[in-house]
């Protein structure tokens, strides 16, 4: 019995660089969040574990078209100290600004954290 040949698909060099750039940006953002969390955590090494727990936790997405906001409500975590650390993370000033540009007339989207 022969196995069907799997065609290996390779990313173009340009696509690979783009994906690597996205990974680098995500890692730097996670590192910055971990540093902020460490300010409120008793054990230094727990910050990335807490971030993984946040990434896996359930959320509610509450869009508000009138105010042009999207509220992301995080459900309670395993313990009060984790919730307090995440509140500290959300209280940090977050001067984010993003632009949606699928269409020429795309409206600007402001992204920020509301604690």
Domain assignment of residue 2, yes or no: no
- Residue 3 inside a domain? The answer is no
State how far the Cα of 84 lies from the Cα of 106, in Å rounded to an integer: 37
Residue in this structure with the two tokens 């069907």, named with its chain if needed: 4
Are the C-beta atoms of residues 77 and 86 closer than 8 Å to each other? yes
What is the model's pLDDT at position 5?
58
The total number of structural domains that make up the chain: 1
Residue 98 in any domain: the answer is yes
* SS3 state at 105: coil
pLDDT confidence bin for 8, thresholds 50/70/90 = low
Tell me the per-residue pLDDT of 45-85, one tens digit each, with 9 for 90 and over. 899 999 999 999 998 898 888 887 888 888 889 899 999 99
Residue 5, in any domain of the structure: no
Q: Is residue 8 part of a domain?
A: no
Structural domain contains residue 81 = yes
Residue 7 in domain: no
With a threshold of 0.75, does the pTM exceed it? Answer: no
Does the residue 74 lie in any domain?
yes
């Amino acid at each position: 019995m022969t196995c069907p040949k799997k065609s290996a698909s390779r990313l173009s060099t340009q696509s690979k660089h783009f994906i690597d750039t996205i990974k680098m940006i995500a890692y730097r953002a996670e590192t910055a969040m971990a540093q902020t969390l460490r300010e409120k955590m008793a054990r230094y090494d727990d910050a990335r574990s807490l971030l993984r727990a946040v990434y896996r936790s359930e959320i509610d997405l509450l869009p508000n078209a009138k105010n042009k906001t999207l509220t992301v409500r995080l459900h309670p975590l395993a313990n009060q100290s984790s919730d307090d650390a995440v509140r500290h993370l959300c209280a940090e000033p977050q001067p984010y600004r993003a632009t949606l540009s699928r269409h020429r007339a795309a409206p600007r989207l402001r992204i920020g954290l509301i604690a």
